[in-house]
Amino acid sequence: MAVPTLCIADGIYPTAFFYRNSVRRLTSVAHDRFTNPKFGIDGRLRNGPKVTATVNPYTYTEAAQPEERKSLTDFLVEARDFVRSDGGDGGPPRWFSPLECGARAPESPLLLYLPGIDGTGLGLIRQHKRLGEIFDIWCLHFPVTDRTPARDLVKLIERTVRSEYFRLPKRPIYIVGESIGACLALDVAASNPDIDLVLILANPVTRVNNFMLQPLSSLLEILPDGVPSFLEENFRFEQGELSTPCISSSRRQMRCRDFFIYSISKMGFQCQDLVQITANCIGGGLLGDLFATSVNLPTLARIFPKDTLLWKLQLLKSASASAKSHMYTVKAQTLILLSGRDQWLLNKEDIEKLHCTLPNCEVRKFENYGQLLFLEDGVDLVTIIKCTYYYRRGKLLDYVSDFILPTPFELKEYEESQRLLTAITSPVFLSTLDNGTVVRSLAGIPSEGPVLYVGNHMLLGTELRPAAIHFLKEKNILLRGLAHPVMFAKKYGSKLPDMHMFDSVRMIGAVPVSNINFYKLLRSKAHVVLYPGGVREALHRKGEVYKLFWPEHSEFVRTASKFGTKIIPFGVVGEDDLCEVVFDYNDQMKIPFLKNLIKELSQDSTYLRNGEEGEVGNQDLHMPGIVPKMPGRFYVYFGKPIYTEGREDELNDKEKAHEVYLQVKSEVERCMTYLKIKREGDPYRNILARSLYHFSHGFSSQVPTFDLRNQ
């Protein structure tokens, strides 16, 4: 018999709610595959030692694979141990902590998991390993025979929340809930507005779809008891190690429906219409994937005996009704995760209402996944939390110390999303050695921070994404780009772009531009990218390619000198070989509809450069109209570092700092001029020439560029 790697809590707070007769399972925890996540920019855990890497983990991301996770088989095997065949799984609801979550980073916040309709508490089993590295995880288990009403479940959870918050008042408490659990989480948050809660709700049901639920309830009423015995005796199904059939989703659902209808008919029921409706619901949605493998049925039948399933449906109704009535008082930060298909329990209108009602809420939709979201192959909750910047260990999010470095597989996925841009632009990266030699590599880039990269913005900031990938793969350096706040917050109903469009940018290290974030990044010895031209430069007008829109004065030099920062000017060219602006800001402001839209977008966003006048202060948001060209090539040239170490007193003088500022600006212009001249001699500037080279030398080969010997 397989032994599940989890421990039923016994004697751990809150003792009043733990099942006193539960068995403490003694199993070992394998630590050989555990790797502490790197917080901050330089691999430092808060209050911990520096983590030094001898091998760049990002060099060969092509071979990177997602971390090994438990499977649906493990879920059923461990659920079977909870739901014992002798019917002994009784007692009140209780918390347990999975053993594979035993090794976690310092100061990890508490995460409470509230299960869905299955009640096992194992809904996060495929997420346990990664979540356990950054959270202290407690899962709530509802025994099959438990009939605790929703209001008492809320009280149970509240006691745990209040006790843990009293113990660690400076840390947030995360509550992850599915369906029923999501409703309970909303109720708890509504009753405790003074506690710092972060809600992550998968498919929350704030109003039950009775049209789809009523046929299922009616069918359950007429089903006989003892279905597990019936399945084993009549169909010879025995629960064992499961094999996942390699069949399509449609065939699995068809087999599920056929078996369900056949089994009901074999028991003597002729209500074919009712059976067909309910079979379609189950086969295509909530439990379709589980029912599709016949050997799962005995365990599933014990998790969902007739009376228990009827009770869970009633619990769902009462919990959703309570959550709907209380959601107006919820103040907690909330992330709603929605499955894109088979939503027979959810109402789209209610989700929209929930989104607009909660003051601090974001929604992410996963189009190709079903009801059991956390058990899906392609869903990684840790990655979702990282992309949305929902991970924090204090009262407020710290974009520096709370940041978790991307894994090699996450970088691989990000690289895949940028593959088209990289393929058509074939970026060339040049750097300058200490002796002034220009080389085609990042050899001239210092490995130790803090380093500040100051350069020009191309249209829409297209240059930073391939640069971020290149720095990680070649130098194991994460670039922290100071980005516009529009990428990090959006008011409900605003016409600004949806936040999910910037998820990958946040995951790769983007930070909202602000003085405090800039200061913290340099203090942590980060590699920071700064664009003094900002939005005005990234959304330039016709005829303004490579024109700088920098403020007359800047404070970045004095701030950089406080930490001995190395300032590296850089220039980027290639936009004019990729596209041309044909419908710019000036054209759009002549059209009343677009003029009003631009004003609305700018008002909804955080306005920067309030103290600047003229074009530099014009930070209005809009989307320029462009036409593509035959793709050329991107060129990025990093100049020689300007050292500020030991010059803090000197550069504290505004005039001296301004001289360095003008020096940086002059170097950026020189880098752009150098690239514009040298690219004329690049035989592979055109995409056709590069394509021929790839065909003859392989698509993984590096395409040559202009001769660097004559500088």
- To the nearest whole number, what is the mean pLDDT of the chain? 80
Burial 497-511 (b: 16+ CB within 10 A, else e): eebeebbbbbbbbbb
Decide if 133 contacts 105 (C-beta within 8 A).
yes
Over residues 161-187, mean pLDDT: 95
Q: Which helix (H) or strand (E) holds 112?
A: strand 110-114
With beta carbons less than 8 A apart as the criterion, state whether 343 and 358 touch.
no
Quick one: pLDDT band at residue 609, thresholds 50, 70, 90?
A: low
Beta bridge partners of 95: 140
Decide if pLDDT at 151 tops 80: yes
Q: So what's the pLDDT on residue 358? A: 87
What local confidence, expressed as pLDDT, does residue 297 receive?
A: 67
Report pLDDT for 613.
Answer: 63
Whether the pLDDT of residue 252 is over 60: the answer is: no
For the ranges 220-224, 271-275, 450-454, 691-695, the lowest mean pLDDT is seen at 271-275
Q: Which pLDDT tens digit goes with each residue over 305-356?
A: 778 888 888 898 899 889 888 888 999 999 999 887 655 566 677 777 778 8
- Alpha-carbon gap, residue 269 to 265, rounded angstroms: 5
The pLDDT of residue 209 is 53
Enclosing H/E stretch for 600: helix 592-604
The C-alpha angle with vertex 496 and arms to 492 and 498, in degrees rounded to 5, equals 75
Decide if pLDDT at 561 tops 60: yes
pLDDT, mean of residues 397-402: 94
Tell me which amino acid residue 490 is: K
The stretch 663-688 carries a mean pLDDT of 96
User: Does CATH number 1.20.1260.10 belong to domain 6-27+72-209+311-387?
Assistant: no
The DSSP call for residue 513 is -
pLDDT of residue 235: 39
User: What is the predicted pLDDT for the residue at 269?
Assistant: 44
Write out pLDDT tens, residues 288-319: 455 444 556 677 777 777 788 888 888 988 99
Peptide bond into 450 cis (omega under 30): yes
Which of 193-197, 354-358, 426-430, 700-704 has the least mean pLDDT? 354-358
Does 116 or 264 have the greater pLDDT score?
116
Pairing of the two strands 579-583 and 625-628: antiparallel
Q: What is the pLDDT of residues 494-514, one digit of tens each?
A: 778 888 889 989 999 999 999
More confident residue, 54 or 247: 54
Higher pLDDT, 103 or 623: 623
Tokens standing for residue 634: 């991107």
Confidence of residue 408 (pLDDT cuts 50, 70, 90): very high
pLDDT score of 63: 86
pLDDT tens sequence across 60-117: 888 888 888 888 878 888 888 877 644 555 788 999 998 887 677 788 999 999 999 8
**Mean per-residue pLDDT, 38-63:** 61
Model confidence, pTM? 0.83
Confidence check: pLDDT of 246 > 60: no
Tell me, what's the pLDDT at 520? Answer: 96
Q: Poorest-confidence range of 181-190, 348-357, 532-541?
A: 348-357
Mean pLDDT of 6-10: 38
**Would you state the pLDDT for residue 709?**
78
DSSP character string of 413-467: HHHHHTHHHHHHH--EEEEE-TTS-EESSSTTS-SSS-EEEEE---GGGTTHHHH
Please choose, from the candidates 279, 305, 302, 303, the residue with its C-alpha nearest in 3D space to the C-alpha of residue 292. Answer: 279
Q: Is the pLDDT of residue 122 over 50?
A: yes
Determine the pLDDT at residue 229: 46
| CA–CA distance, 6 with 29 (Å, rounded to integer) | 9
Q: What backbone torsions phi and psi does residue 141 show, to the nearest 5 degrees?
A: -115, 130
Q: What pLDDT was estimated at residue 345? A: 61
Closest CA to 377 of 34, 64, 127, 175: 127
pLDDT classification of 130: cutoffs 50, 70, 90:
very high
pLDDT digits (tens, 9 = 90+) for 567-602: 999 999 999 999 999 999 999 999 999 999 998 888
Which residue spans of the chain are classified as CATH 3.40.50.1820?
6-27+72-209+311-387
How confident is the model at residue 302, as a pLDDT? 77
